[in-house]
Amino acid sequence: MKDTSCIFCKIANGTIPSYKVYEDNDVIAFLDVNPASRGHTLVVTKEHFSNMTTCPKSILDKVFEVAQTIAQAQIAQLGATGVNVLTNVGESAGQTVHHFHVHVIPRYDNDGLKLAFPPKQLADSEMTDIKSSIEKAL
Ligand code: AMP
Ligand code: ZN
């Protein structure tokens, strides 16, 4: 469904400007306005899907193909030595714009950026429960 107030819909249809680096029929990519690092790019579906889980697989494939190409360009042209590719699903995961997008964040040696996952340990029984719960849905 179209969301006329959605900022990424407006960027996708050209109503508001962006530093666009790529566009095709299904996907647009532009620089993040508040970059986590130099060259931080968002790969966004042109059609409005709230997040990765509601995006059709055929379009998802295209989004990740573009993300790969952007990552290659960041390495080749910006001198990135690594890249983080991530997408937030839902507010608990930090999603603030509820239009599916993938962050492609170039990394540089000693850039000081921390995307930390504090390590946890779970009991074997809990790991087994979690494994079967996920498997049931696959
Ligand atoms: P998320 O937290 O995954 O929803 O990320 C949303 C991202 O969109 C943030 O990194 C913002 O800096 C970025 N953003 C918000 N508005 C704009 C805009 N008009 N142009 C480019 N990036 C934007
Ligand atoms: Zn939208």
pLDDT at 67 over 90: yes
Q: Please give the distance, rounded to the nearest whole angstrom, from the Cα atom of residue 3 to the centre of ligand 1.
A: 17
Mean pLDDT, residues 66-78 taken together = 98
- Under 8 Å between Cβ of 44 and 28: yes
Q: Note the pLDDT of residue 3.
A: 61
CATH of the domain at 43: 3.30.428.10
Domain of residue 106: give its range: 7-112
The answer to whether residue 132 is domain-embedded is: no
Q: Please give the distance, rounded to the nearest whole angstrom, from the Cα atom of residue 97 to the centre of ligand 1.
A: 6
Q: Is 101 a catalytic residue?
A: yes
pLDDT at 4 over 90: no
Q: Report yes or no on whether pTM surpasses 0.75.
A: yes
The answer to whether residue 42 is domain-embedded is: yes
pLDDT at 10 over 90: yes
Report how far apart, in Å, the C-alpha atoms of 111 and of each of 1, 26, 55, 83, 103 are: 40, 33, 33, 12, 17
Q: Taking CB atoms and a 6 Å cutoff, what residues make up the pocket around ligand 1?
A: 7, 18, 30, 32-34, 42, 88, 94-97
Atom of ligand 1 nearest to the CA of 96: 4
Tally the domains of the chain: 1
